[in-house]
Amino acid sequence: MASDTPQEARYLKFPNSKPGSGLNKFSSTLTREHDFPGAQAMLYGAGVPNERALKTYPQVGVASVWWEGNPCNTHLLQLGKEVKRAVESQEMLAWQFNTVGVSDGITMGGDGMRFSLQTRELIADSIETVTCAQFHDACITIPGCDKNMPGCVMGMTRHNRPSIMVYGGSIKPGYSNLLKKKLDFTSSVEAHGAWTYDTLKNPNDPSQTKDEILTDIERNACPGQGACGGMFTANTMATAIETLGLTLPGSASTPAESPEKMRECSKVAKAIKVCMEKNILPRDCLTKKSFENAMVMMMALGGSTNGVLHLLAMAGTAEVDLTLDDFQRVSDRIPFIADLAPSGKYLMADLYEIGGVPSVQKMLIAAGLLDGTTITITGKTLAENVEGWPSLRQGQEVIRSLDNPIKPTGHVEILYGNLAPEGAVAKITGKEGMKFTGKARVFNKEFELNDALNRGEIPKTENLVLIVRYEGPKGGPGMPEQLKASAAIMGAGLKNIALITDGRYSGGSHGFIVGHITPEAAVGGPIAVVQDGDIIEIDADKNTINMTSVDTVELQRRLTEWKPPPMPVTRGVLAKYARLVGDASHGAMTDLF
Protein backbone atom coordinates (compact mmCIF):
# COMPACT_ATOMS: atom_id res chain seq x y z
CA MET A 1 0.00 0.00 0.00
CA ALA A 2 1.30 3.43 -0.90
CA SER A 3 2.42 5.60 1.96
CA ASP A 4 0.38 8.61 2.97
CA THR A 5 0.93 11.82 1.02
CA PRO A 6 2.31 14.77 3.01
CA GLN A 7 -1.18 16.31 3.03
CA GLU A 8 -2.80 13.07 4.24
CA ALA A 9 -0.10 12.66 6.87
CA ARG A 10 -0.84 16.14 8.18
CA TYR A 11 -4.56 15.33 8.40
CA LEU A 12 -3.68 12.18 10.36
CA LYS A 13 -1.55 14.25 12.72
CA PHE A 14 -4.16 17.03 13.04
CA PRO A 15 -7.46 15.47 11.89
CA ASN A 16 -9.47 18.55 12.79
CA SER A 17 -7.40 20.68 10.44
CA LYS A 18 -9.52 19.56 7.52
CA PRO A 19 -12.25 22.19 6.84
CA GLY A 20 -15.57 21.23 8.39
CA SER A 21 -14.15 18.22 10.24
CA GLY A 22 -14.30 19.52 13.82
CA LEU A 23 -15.44 22.35 16.07
CA ASN A 24 -12.99 24.60 14.21
CA LYS A 25 -14.92 24.31 10.95
CA PHE A 26 -14.73 28.04 10.18
CA SER A 27 -11.27 28.88 11.51
CA SER A 28 -9.76 25.87 9.77
CA THR A 29 -10.26 27.77 6.52
CA LEU A 30 -7.27 29.85 7.63
CA THR A 31 -5.32 27.25 9.59
CA ARG A 32 -5.39 24.22 7.27
CA GLU A 33 -2.19 23.31 5.43
CA HIS A 34 -0.37 26.42 4.17
CA ASP A 35 -3.25 27.99 2.25
CA PHE A 36 -3.03 31.20 4.26
CA PRO A 37 0.54 31.45 5.58
CA GLY A 38 0.18 35.15 6.29
CA ALA A 39 -2.90 34.51 8.44
CA GLN A 40 -1.10 31.75 10.32
CA ALA A 41 1.90 33.97 10.93
CA MET A 42 -0.35 36.69 12.30
CA LEU A 43 -2.20 34.24 14.53
CA TYR A 44 1.09 33.01 15.99
CA GLY A 45 2.04 36.63 16.51
CA ALA A 46 -1.29 37.25 18.30
CA GLY A 47 -0.54 34.52 20.82
CA VAL A 48 -1.33 31.05 19.44
CA PRO A 49 1.13 28.90 21.41
CA ASN A 50 1.89 26.01 19.06
CA GLU A 51 1.00 24.16 15.87
CA ARG A 52 -1.46 21.84 17.62
CA ALA A 53 -3.46 24.78 18.96
CA LEU A 54 -3.40 26.51 15.59
CA LYS A 55 -4.52 23.44 13.64
CA THR A 56 -7.06 21.89 16.00
CA TYR A 57 -8.41 24.41 18.51
CA PRO A 58 -11.68 26.16 17.66
CA GLN A 59 -11.51 29.95 17.80
CA VAL A 60 -14.10 31.82 19.89
CA GLY A 61 -14.69 35.54 19.68
CA VAL A 62 -15.40 37.24 23.02
CA ALA A 63 -17.17 40.51 22.21
CA SER A 64 -17.74 42.90 25.09
CA VAL A 65 -19.41 46.28 24.87
CA TRP A 66 -16.78 47.67 27.19
CA TRP A 67 -15.80 51.24 27.70
CA GLU A 68 -15.00 53.38 30.73
CA GLY A 69 -17.18 56.18 31.97
CA ASN A 70 -20.48 54.29 32.27
CA PRO A 71 -21.29 52.02 35.22
CA CYS A 72 -23.27 49.65 32.97
CA ASN A 73 -20.15 48.86 30.92
CA THR A 74 -17.03 49.69 32.88
CA HIS A 75 -16.68 46.15 34.31
CA LEU A 76 -17.27 44.25 31.09
CA LEU A 77 -13.58 44.05 30.19
CA GLN A 78 -12.97 42.13 33.41
CA LEU A 79 -15.89 39.81 32.71
CA GLY A 80 -14.46 39.26 29.24
CA LYS A 81 -11.08 38.30 30.68
CA GLU A 82 -12.73 35.65 32.85
CA VAL A 83 -14.64 34.32 29.84
CA LYS A 84 -11.37 34.19 27.86
CA ARG A 85 -9.60 32.31 30.67
CA ALA A 86 -12.43 29.79 30.89
CA VAL A 87 -12.61 29.29 27.11
CA GLU A 88 -8.87 28.65 26.91
CA SER A 89 -9.16 26.08 29.71
CA GLN A 90 -11.42 24.09 27.34
CA GLU A 91 -8.68 23.82 24.68
CA MET A 92 -10.09 26.60 22.56
CA LEU A 93 -8.60 29.90 21.45
CA ALA A 94 -10.38 33.00 22.73
CA TRP A 95 -10.05 36.38 21.03
CA GLN A 96 -11.41 39.39 22.90
CA PHE A 97 -12.71 42.33 20.91
CA ASN A 98 -14.84 45.35 21.60
CA THR A 99 -17.78 47.18 20.15
CA VAL A 100 -18.85 50.77 20.71
CA GLY A 101 -21.58 51.93 23.06
CA VAL A 102 -23.30 55.01 24.40
CA SER A 103 -24.48 55.67 27.96
CA ASP A 104 -28.20 56.40 27.90
CA GLY A 105 -28.10 57.82 31.41
CA ILE A 106 -25.28 60.25 30.66
CA THR A 107 -26.68 61.41 27.31
CA MET A 108 -30.31 61.63 28.46
CA GLY A 109 -31.90 64.97 27.61
CA GLY A 110 -29.00 66.16 25.44
CA ASP A 111 -27.89 65.92 21.82
CA GLY A 112 -25.77 62.88 22.69
CA MET A 113 -28.92 60.79 23.12
CA ARG A 114 -29.49 60.95 19.36
CA PHE A 115 -26.49 58.64 19.00
CA SER A 116 -27.83 55.97 21.35
CA LEU A 117 -30.24 53.85 19.27
CA GLN A 118 -27.95 53.73 16.26
CA THR A 119 -25.32 52.02 18.42
CA ARG A 120 -27.58 48.98 18.34
CA GLU A 121 -26.79 48.74 14.62
CA LEU A 122 -23.09 49.51 15.13
CA ILE A 123 -22.82 46.76 17.74
CA ALA A 124 -24.54 44.27 15.43
CA ASP A 125 -22.32 45.40 12.55
CA SER A 126 -19.17 45.01 14.67
CA ILE A 127 -20.01 41.51 15.87
CA GLU A 128 -21.02 40.33 12.40
CA THR A 129 -17.92 41.91 10.87
CA VAL A 130 -15.29 40.55 13.25
CA THR A 131 -16.83 37.07 13.51
CA CYS A 132 -17.07 36.61 9.75
CA ALA A 133 -13.85 38.37 8.78
CA GLN A 134 -11.77 36.51 11.36
CA PHE A 135 -13.43 33.12 10.70
CA HIS A 136 -14.42 32.66 14.35
CA ASP A 137 -16.12 29.35 15.08
CA ALA A 138 -18.29 30.72 17.88
CA CYS A 139 -19.16 33.93 19.64
CA ILE A 140 -19.72 35.00 23.25
CA THR A 141 -21.09 38.51 23.72
CA ILE A 142 -21.02 40.57 26.91
CA PRO A 143 -23.36 43.60 26.86
CA GLY A 144 -24.25 46.08 29.61
CA CYS A 145 -26.32 49.17 28.73
CA ASP A 146 -29.71 49.30 27.02
CA LYS A 147 -29.02 48.98 23.27
CA ASN A 148 -26.17 46.57 23.87
CA MET A 149 -28.32 43.46 24.34
CA PRO A 150 -30.40 43.64 21.14
CA GLY A 151 -27.32 44.76 19.22
CA CYS A 152 -25.43 41.67 20.38
CA VAL A 153 -28.31 39.35 19.53
CA MET A 154 -28.78 40.91 16.09
CA GLY A 155 -25.08 40.45 15.36
CA MET A 156 -25.17 36.85 16.60
CA THR A 157 -28.25 36.20 14.49
CA ARG A 158 -26.69 37.62 11.35
CA HIS A 159 -23.60 35.37 11.43
CA ASN A 160 -25.65 32.53 13.02
CA ARG A 161 -22.70 30.63 14.46
CA PRO A 162 -22.82 29.01 17.93
CA SER A 163 -23.30 31.97 20.28
CA ILE A 164 -24.12 32.84 23.89
CA MET A 165 -24.76 36.17 25.58
CA VAL A 166 -23.57 37.00 29.10
CA TYR A 167 -25.46 39.96 30.54
CA GLY A 168 -23.23 42.34 32.51
CA GLY A 169 -25.81 42.47 35.31
CA SER A 170 -27.61 45.09 37.38
CA ILE A 171 -26.20 47.72 39.69
CA LYS A 172 -26.70 47.57 43.45
CA PRO A 173 -29.48 49.75 44.89
CA GLY A 174 -28.35 53.21 45.91
CA TYR A 175 -29.14 54.64 49.32
CA SER A 176 -29.48 58.16 50.70
CA ASN A 177 -28.55 58.57 54.37
CA LEU A 178 -30.08 62.03 54.12
CA LEU A 179 -33.49 60.81 52.97
CA LYS A 180 -33.25 57.37 54.61
CA LYS A 181 -34.41 55.55 51.48
CA LYS A 182 -33.24 53.45 48.54
CA LEU A 183 -32.35 55.17 45.28
CA ASP A 184 -31.88 54.23 41.66
CA PHE A 185 -30.94 56.16 38.52
CA THR A 186 -34.45 57.51 37.97
CA SER A 187 -34.42 58.98 41.49
CA SER A 188 -32.02 61.64 40.24
CA VAL A 189 -34.03 62.69 37.20
CA GLU A 190 -37.37 62.61 39.00
CA ALA A 191 -35.89 64.64 41.84
CA HIS A 192 -34.92 67.25 39.28
CA GLY A 193 -38.60 67.74 38.44
CA ALA A 194 -39.37 68.35 42.10
CA TRP A 195 -36.34 70.67 42.30
CA THR A 196 -37.62 72.67 39.31
CA TYR A 197 -41.12 73.08 40.78
CA ASP A 198 -39.67 73.77 44.25
CA THR A 199 -41.27 70.71 45.86
CA LEU A 200 -38.08 68.79 46.69
CA LYS A 201 -38.09 68.44 50.47
CA ASN A 202 -36.47 66.21 53.07
CA PRO A 203 -39.17 65.06 55.50
CA ASN A 204 -36.44 64.07 57.95
CA ASP A 205 -34.92 67.56 58.00
CA PRO A 206 -37.01 70.44 56.57
CA SER A 207 -34.06 72.84 56.98
CA GLN A 208 -32.10 71.25 54.14
CA THR A 209 -32.15 73.10 50.83
CA LYS A 210 -33.30 71.55 47.59
CA ASP A 211 -29.75 71.86 46.23
CA GLU A 212 -28.37 69.84 49.14
CA ILE A 213 -31.00 67.15 48.65
CA LEU A 214 -30.50 66.89 44.89
CA THR A 215 -26.72 66.76 45.29
CA ASP A 216 -27.09 63.92 47.80
CA ILE A 217 -29.33 61.97 45.40
CA GLU A 218 -26.93 62.52 42.49
CA ARG A 219 -24.03 61.34 44.65
CA ASN A 220 -25.68 58.13 45.85
CA ALA A 221 -28.11 56.95 43.15
CA CYS A 222 -25.54 54.83 41.29
CA PRO A 223 -23.22 53.17 43.84
CA GLY A 224 -21.11 51.01 41.54
CA GLN A 225 -20.99 48.83 38.45
CA GLY A 226 -23.94 47.45 36.54
CA ALA A 227 -26.96 48.52 34.53
CA CYS A 228 -29.85 50.56 35.95
CA GLY A 229 -31.56 48.45 38.57
CA GLY A 230 -35.28 48.59 37.78
CA MET A 231 -37.25 46.88 35.03
CA PHE A 232 -35.84 49.47 32.66
CA THR A 233 -34.67 48.67 29.14
CA ALA A 234 -31.43 46.86 30.03
CA ASN A 235 -33.13 44.44 32.42
CA THR A 236 -36.14 44.13 30.12
CA MET A 237 -33.94 43.00 27.26
CA ALA A 238 -31.75 40.77 29.41
CA THR A 239 -34.90 39.04 30.71
CA ALA A 240 -36.31 38.69 27.20
CA ILE A 241 -33.07 37.29 25.79
CA GLU A 242 -32.72 34.79 28.65
CA THR A 243 -36.29 33.71 27.87
CA LEU A 244 -35.41 33.43 24.17
CA GLY A 245 -32.81 30.89 25.27
CA LEU A 246 -29.60 32.74 24.39
CA THR A 247 -28.08 33.01 27.89
CA LEU A 248 -27.40 30.67 30.76
CA PRO A 249 -30.33 30.49 33.23
CA GLY A 250 -30.25 33.34 35.73
CA SER A 251 -28.06 35.66 33.67
CA ALA A 252 -30.62 38.48 33.57
CA SER A 253 -31.10 38.77 37.32
CA THR A 254 -27.57 38.04 38.59
CA PRO A 255 -26.11 41.33 39.93
CA ALA A 256 -23.09 42.79 38.18
CA GLU A 257 -20.76 42.74 41.17
CA SER A 258 -21.83 39.39 42.62
CA PRO A 259 -19.54 36.34 42.75
CA GLU A 260 -22.26 34.47 40.85
CA LYS A 261 -21.75 36.74 37.82
CA MET A 262 -18.08 35.76 37.68
CA ARG A 263 -19.08 32.10 38.03
CA GLU A 264 -21.43 32.56 35.09
CA CYS A 265 -18.47 33.79 33.04
CA SER A 266 -16.61 30.60 33.97
CA LYS A 267 -19.56 28.33 33.11
CA VAL A 268 -20.13 29.86 29.70
CA ALA A 269 -17.03 28.18 28.24
CA LYS A 270 -18.46 24.68 28.67
CA ALA A 271 -21.83 25.94 27.44
CA ILE A 272 -20.42 27.34 24.19
CA LYS A 273 -18.68 24.01 23.60
CA VAL A 274 -22.04 22.26 23.95
CA CYS A 275 -23.50 24.67 21.39
CA MET A 276 -20.66 23.86 19.01
CA GLU A 277 -20.86 20.10 19.53
CA LYS A 278 -24.65 20.03 19.09
CA ASN A 279 -24.61 22.80 16.46
CA ILE A 280 -27.16 24.89 18.38
CA LEU A 281 -27.37 28.17 16.49
CA PRO A 282 -29.03 31.48 17.44
CA ARG A 283 -31.77 31.06 14.86
CA ASP A 284 -32.63 27.66 16.35
CA CYS A 285 -33.58 29.49 19.54
CA LEU A 286 -35.21 32.48 17.87
CA THR A 287 -38.61 31.08 16.90
CA LYS A 288 -42.11 32.54 16.98
CA LYS A 289 -42.77 30.51 20.16
CA SER A 290 -39.69 31.88 21.91
CA PHE A 291 -40.59 35.46 20.95
CA GLU A 292 -44.08 34.82 22.36
CA ASN A 293 -42.38 33.75 25.59
CA ALA A 294 -40.22 36.88 25.63
CA MET A 295 -43.35 39.02 25.26
CA VAL A 296 -45.04 37.12 28.11
CA MET A 297 -42.14 37.91 30.44
CA MET A 298 -42.11 41.50 29.30
CA MET A 299 -45.81 41.94 30.15
CA ALA A 300 -45.66 40.04 33.44
CA LEU A 301 -42.69 42.04 34.73
CA GLY A 302 -43.73 45.47 33.40
CA GLY A 303 -40.87 45.84 30.94
CA SER A 304 -39.81 48.88 28.96
CA THR A 305 -41.63 49.99 25.82
CA ASN A 306 -38.21 49.82 24.17
CA GLY A 307 -38.71 46.07 24.39
CA VAL A 308 -41.26 46.40 21.59
CA LEU A 309 -38.77 48.19 19.35
CA HIS A 310 -35.93 45.78 20.06
CA LEU A 311 -37.90 42.53 19.89
CA LEU A 312 -39.29 43.63 16.51
CA ALA A 313 -35.74 44.30 15.29
CA MET A 314 -34.38 41.02 16.66
CA ALA A 315 -37.26 39.09 15.11
CA GLY A 316 -36.78 40.92 11.81
CA THR A 317 -33.10 39.98 11.80
CA ALA A 318 -34.02 36.35 12.48
CA GLU A 319 -36.72 36.50 9.79
CA VAL A 320 -39.44 35.68 12.32
CA ASP A 321 -42.84 37.24 11.60
CA LEU A 322 -43.52 39.51 14.58
CA THR A 323 -45.80 42.56 14.50
CA LEU A 324 -47.13 45.25 16.80
CA ASP A 325 -50.42 43.36 17.00
CA ASP A 326 -48.63 40.36 18.52
CA PHE A 327 -47.66 42.54 21.48
CA GLN A 328 -51.25 43.62 22.00
CA ARG A 329 -52.49 40.03 21.78
CA VAL A 330 -50.01 38.91 24.46
CA SER A 331 -50.68 41.97 26.62
CA ASP A 332 -54.42 41.21 26.56
CA ARG A 333 -53.90 37.80 28.18
CA ILE A 334 -50.93 38.22 30.54
CA PRO A 335 -51.34 39.82 33.98
CA PHE A 336 -48.89 42.47 35.17
CA ILE A 337 -47.57 40.99 38.43
CA ALA A 338 -44.21 42.64 39.23
CA ASP A 339 -43.91 45.50 41.73
CA LEU A 340 -40.69 46.65 40.08
CA ALA A 341 -39.40 50.15 39.33
CA PRO A 342 -40.14 52.45 37.63
CA SER A 343 -43.84 52.12 38.52
CA GLY A 344 -43.16 49.89 41.56
CA LYS A 345 -40.82 49.96 44.52
CA TYR A 346 -38.47 46.99 44.01
CA LEU A 347 -35.36 46.50 41.86
CA MET A 348 -33.78 43.59 40.00
CA ALA A 349 -31.51 42.98 42.99
CA ASP A 350 -34.65 42.26 45.03
CA LEU A 351 -35.92 39.84 42.39
CA TYR A 352 -32.56 38.06 42.46
CA GLU A 353 -32.89 37.53 46.22
CA ILE A 354 -36.21 35.68 45.84
CA GLY A 355 -35.16 33.38 42.99
CA GLY A 356 -34.59 35.62 39.98
CA VAL A 357 -35.93 35.40 36.45
CA PRO A 358 -35.85 31.55 36.31
CA SER A 359 -38.21 31.35 39.31
CA VAL A 360 -40.68 33.62 37.54
CA GLN A 361 -40.35 31.53 34.39
CA LYS A 362 -40.97 28.38 36.43
CA MET A 363 -44.18 29.83 37.87
CA LEU A 364 -45.46 30.98 34.46
CA ILE A 365 -44.65 27.62 32.85
CA ALA A 366 -46.59 25.85 35.61
CA ALA A 367 -49.53 28.19 35.00
CA GLY A 368 -49.51 27.45 31.27
CA LEU A 369 -48.65 31.05 30.36
CA LEU A 370 -45.11 30.32 29.16
CA ASP A 371 -44.21 27.60 26.65
CA GLY A 372 -41.52 25.46 28.25
CA THR A 373 -40.76 23.44 25.11
CA THR A 374 -38.55 26.00 23.38
CA ILE A 375 -34.88 25.09 22.85
CA THR A 376 -32.05 27.01 24.54
CA ILE A 377 -28.27 27.25 24.21
CA THR A 378 -27.84 24.72 27.04
CA GLY A 379 -29.20 22.01 24.75
CA LYS A 380 -32.18 21.72 27.08
CA THR A 381 -35.65 23.21 26.86
CA LEU A 382 -36.66 26.28 28.83
CA ALA A 383 -38.70 24.08 31.19
CA GLU A 384 -35.75 21.73 31.75
CA ASN A 385 -33.48 24.70 32.50
CA VAL A 386 -35.70 25.96 35.34
CA GLU A 387 -37.00 22.63 36.63
CA GLY A 388 -34.44 22.45 39.43
CA TRP A 389 -34.58 26.17 40.16
CA PRO A 390 -36.20 27.21 43.47
CA SER A 391 -39.78 28.42 43.38
CA LEU A 392 -40.41 32.05 44.29
CA ARG A 393 -39.78 32.59 47.99
CA GLN A 394 -42.86 32.45 50.19
CA GLY A 395 -44.02 35.76 51.65
CA GLN A 396 -42.15 37.89 49.11
CA GLU A 397 -43.88 40.99 47.71
CA VAL A 398 -41.83 41.60 44.56
CA ILE A 399 -43.88 39.27 42.34
CA ARG A 400 -47.59 39.00 43.05
CA SER A 401 -49.60 35.83 42.64
CA LEU A 402 -51.42 35.39 39.36
CA ASP A 403 -54.78 35.72 41.10
CA ASN A 404 -53.80 39.06 42.65
CA PRO A 405 -52.09 41.03 39.87
CA ILE A 406 -51.30 44.73 39.83
CA LYS A 407 -53.26 44.81 36.57
CA PRO A 408 -55.17 41.85 35.08
CA THR A 409 -53.63 42.48 31.67
CA GLY A 410 -50.28 43.78 30.43
CA HIS A 411 -49.10 47.36 30.70
CA VAL A 412 -48.14 47.75 27.03
CA GLU A 413 -50.95 48.97 24.80
CA ILE A 414 -50.71 49.29 21.03
CA LEU A 415 -52.77 52.26 19.88
CA TYR A 416 -54.08 53.24 16.45
CA GLY A 417 -56.06 56.24 15.22
CA ASN A 418 -55.89 59.35 13.09
CA LEU A 419 -52.82 60.44 15.07
CA ALA A 420 -51.01 57.10 14.64
CA PRO A 421 -52.43 55.23 11.64
CA GLU A 422 -49.51 52.78 11.63
CA GLY A 423 -49.38 52.34 15.39
CA ALA A 424 -48.04 53.72 18.65
CA VAL A 425 -46.83 52.12 21.87
CA ALA A 426 -48.23 53.17 25.25
CA LYS A 427 -46.98 52.20 28.70
CA ILE A 428 -50.03 52.25 30.96
CA THR A 429 -49.88 50.37 34.25
CA GLY A 430 -53.43 51.37 35.26
CA LYS A 431 -52.21 53.53 38.16
CA GLU A 432 -52.71 56.61 35.99
CA GLY A 433 -56.06 55.45 34.59
CA MET A 434 -56.86 54.02 31.17
CA LYS A 435 -58.13 57.15 29.40
CA PHE A 436 -56.90 60.69 28.99
CA THR A 437 -58.29 63.68 27.12
CA GLY A 438 -56.59 67.05 26.94
CA LYS A 439 -55.54 70.01 24.86
CA ALA A 440 -52.44 69.63 22.72
CA ARG A 441 -49.36 71.67 23.43
CA VAL A 442 -46.83 71.10 20.71
CA PHE A 443 -43.03 71.05 20.87
CA ASN A 444 -40.98 70.40 17.74
CA LYS A 445 -38.01 69.04 19.67
CA GLU A 446 -37.44 67.50 23.08
CA PHE A 447 -35.25 70.37 24.26
CA GLU A 448 -38.16 72.77 23.77
CA LEU A 449 -40.26 70.82 26.28
CA ASN A 450 -37.33 70.45 28.66
CA ASP A 451 -36.78 74.22 28.56
CA ALA A 452 -40.47 74.84 29.27
CA LEU A 453 -40.36 72.44 32.22
CA ASN A 454 -37.17 74.03 33.57
CA ARG A 455 -38.91 77.40 33.49
CA GLY A 456 -41.93 75.97 35.28
CA GLU A 457 -44.20 76.84 32.35
CA ILE A 458 -46.31 73.67 32.33
CA PRO A 459 -49.30 74.42 34.57
CA LYS A 460 -51.13 72.08 36.93
CA THR A 461 -54.51 73.63 36.18
CA GLU A 462 -55.79 71.88 33.02
CA ASN A 463 -55.38 68.58 31.22
CA LEU A 464 -52.64 68.87 28.62
CA VAL A 465 -51.27 66.43 26.07
CA LEU A 466 -47.67 67.45 25.55
CA ILE A 467 -46.53 66.49 22.05
CA VAL A 468 -42.86 66.15 21.17
CA ARG A 469 -42.33 65.55 17.44
CA TYR A 470 -39.53 65.38 14.89
CA GLU A 471 -37.75 62.99 17.27
CA GLY A 472 -38.43 59.72 15.42
CA PRO A 473 -35.79 57.45 13.85
CA LYS A 474 -35.33 59.77 10.86
CA GLY A 475 -36.42 63.04 12.44
CA GLY A 476 -34.23 62.97 15.56
CA PRO A 477 -32.35 61.58 13.90
CA GLY A 478 -31.85 58.60 16.18
CA MET A 479 -35.20 58.43 18.05
CA PRO A 480 -33.84 59.74 21.38
CA GLU A 481 -35.31 58.62 24.69
CA GLN A 482 -37.13 61.30 26.65
CA LEU A 483 -36.73 60.29 30.27
CA LYS A 484 -35.72 63.78 31.34
CA ALA A 485 -39.15 65.20 30.48
CA SER A 486 -41.22 62.25 31.72
CA ALA A 487 -39.24 62.04 34.97
CA ALA A 488 -39.48 65.79 35.56
CA ILE A 489 -43.26 65.59 35.16
CA MET A 490 -43.49 62.70 37.64
CA GLY A 491 -41.15 64.42 40.08
CA ALA A 492 -43.12 67.65 39.87
CA GLY A 493 -46.39 65.81 40.49
CA LEU A 494 -48.01 67.01 37.25
CA LYS A 495 -50.82 64.45 37.13
CA ASN A 496 -52.75 66.52 34.61
CA ILE A 497 -50.27 65.65 31.86
CA ALA A 498 -50.02 63.02 29.15
CA LEU A 499 -46.91 62.80 26.96
CA ILE A 500 -46.89 61.61 23.36
CA THR A 501 -44.04 61.49 20.86
CA ASP A 502 -42.76 59.96 17.65
CA GLY A 503 -39.58 59.37 19.64
CA ARG A 504 -39.06 56.96 22.53
CA TYR A 505 -39.25 56.87 26.28
CA SER A 506 -36.70 55.34 28.60
CA GLY A 507 -37.44 52.14 30.46
CA GLY A 508 -37.33 54.39 33.51
CA SER A 509 -40.26 56.45 32.25
CA HIS A 510 -43.72 56.03 33.69
CA GLY A 511 -46.95 57.97 33.78
CA PHE A 512 -49.47 58.38 30.96
CA ILE A 513 -47.04 58.16 28.04
CA VAL A 514 -47.29 57.16 24.38
CA GLY A 515 -44.30 56.81 22.08
CA HIS A 516 -43.24 55.33 18.73
CA ILE A 517 -46.03 57.20 16.92
CA THR A 518 -45.92 56.08 13.29
CA PRO A 519 -45.64 57.51 10.68
CA GLU A 520 -43.26 59.97 12.33
CA ALA A 521 -43.42 63.71 11.76
CA ALA A 522 -40.30 63.81 9.57
CA VAL A 523 -42.01 61.73 6.88
CA GLY A 524 -45.29 63.61 7.05
CA GLY A 525 -47.21 61.59 9.62
CA PRO A 526 -50.31 63.22 11.18
CA ILE A 527 -48.34 64.12 14.32
CA ALA A 528 -46.55 66.70 12.14
CA VAL A 529 -49.72 68.78 11.76
CA VAL A 530 -51.15 68.76 15.29
CA GLN A 531 -51.71 72.32 16.49
CA ASP A 532 -51.81 73.85 19.96
CA GLY A 533 -55.32 73.51 21.34
CA ASP A 534 -56.35 70.43 19.34
CA ILE A 535 -58.19 67.95 21.54
CA ILE A 536 -56.34 64.64 21.88
CA GLU A 537 -58.08 61.56 23.25
CA ILE A 538 -56.12 58.48 24.36
CA ASP A 539 -58.21 55.42 25.18
CA ALA A 540 -56.25 52.35 26.27
CA ASP A 541 -59.45 50.33 26.66
CA LYS A 542 -60.26 50.82 22.98
CA ASN A 543 -56.59 51.03 21.95
CA THR A 544 -57.09 54.36 20.18
CA ILE A 545 -55.32 57.70 19.94
CA ASN A 546 -57.13 60.42 18.02
CA MET A 547 -57.36 64.12 17.38
CA THR A 548 -61.08 64.29 18.13
CA SER A 549 -61.41 67.97 17.25
CA VAL A 550 -59.91 67.52 13.77
CA ASP A 551 -62.08 65.91 11.09
CA THR A 552 -60.82 64.03 8.05
CA VAL A 553 -61.15 67.01 5.70
CA GLU A 554 -59.22 69.34 8.01
CA LEU A 555 -56.54 66.73 8.65
CA GLN A 556 -56.07 66.19 4.91
CA ARG A 557 -55.86 69.95 4.30
CA ARG A 558 -53.12 70.29 6.93
CA LEU A 559 -51.17 67.32 5.54
CA THR A 560 -51.38 68.72 2.00
CA GLU A 561 -49.98 72.06 3.17
CA TRP A 562 -47.23 70.51 5.34
CA LYS A 563 -43.66 70.91 4.17
CA PRO A 564 -40.81 68.88 5.65
CA PRO A 565 -38.29 70.87 7.69
CA PRO A 566 -34.60 70.73 6.79
CA MET A 567 -32.79 67.67 8.11
CA PRO A 568 -31.01 68.54 11.38
CA VAL A 569 -27.81 66.83 10.19
CA THR A 570 -26.55 66.20 6.67
CA ARG A 571 -23.18 64.52 7.25
CA GLY A 572 -21.74 61.87 9.51
CA VAL A 573 -23.13 58.81 11.23
CA LEU A 574 -26.53 60.30 12.12
CA ALA A 575 -27.18 61.42 8.55
CA LYS A 576 -26.26 57.95 7.30
CA TYR A 577 -28.55 56.41 9.93
CA ALA A 578 -31.44 58.68 8.93
CA ARG A 579 -31.12 57.60 5.30
CA LEU A 580 -31.09 53.88 6.15
CA VAL A 581 -33.43 53.47 9.11
CA GLY A 582 -36.95 52.07 8.85
CA ASP A 583 -39.97 53.06 10.93
CA ALA A 584 -40.53 52.28 14.60
CA SER A 585 -43.43 49.92 13.92
CA HIS A 586 -40.93 47.57 12.28
CA GLY A 587 -38.20 47.96 14.90
CA ALA A 588 -36.29 50.93 13.41
CA MET A 589 -33.98 48.54 11.54
CA THR A 590 -31.33 49.65 9.07
CA ASP A 591 -31.12 46.40 7.12
CA LEU A 592 -34.82 45.69 6.58
CA PHE A 593 -34.99 46.97 3.03
Residues with a known catalytic role: 506
Q: Are 410 and 330 in contact (CB under 8 A)?
A: yes
- Phi and psi of 538, rounded to 5°? -115, 125
E strands along 166-314, which residues? 174-176, 181-183
Q: What is the DSSP letter of 4?
A: P
Q: Are 229 and 341 in contact (CB under 8 A)?
A: yes
Q: Are 377 and 280 in contact (CB under 8 A)?
A: yes
User: What are the Cα distances from residue 563, in Å, to 488, 522, 525, 530, 555?
Assistant: 32, 10, 11, 14, 14
Q: Indicate the residue type of 89.
A: S
- Phi and psi of 279, rounded to 5°? 55, 45
Q: What is the DSSP letter of 65?
A: -
For the residues of 371-419, what is the DSSP string, one character each? -TT-B-TTSSBHHHHHTTSPPPPTT-SSB--TTS-SBSS-SEEEEEETT
Q: Are 547 and 533 in contact (CB under 8 A)?
A: no
Separation between Cα atoms, residue 457 and residue 151, nearest integer Å:
39
Q: What is the DSSP letter of 275?
A: H
Q: How many CB atoms lie within 10 A of CB 128?
A: 20
User: What are the Cα distances from residue 472, in Å, to 86, 215, 322, 478, 522?
Assistant: 43, 33, 21, 7, 7
Torsion angle of the four alpha carbons 256, 262, 263, 265, in this order, in degrees rounded to the nearest 10: 100
Separation between Cα atoms, residue 22 and residue 197, nearest integer Å:
66
Q: How many CB atoms lie within 10 A of CB 36?
A: 15
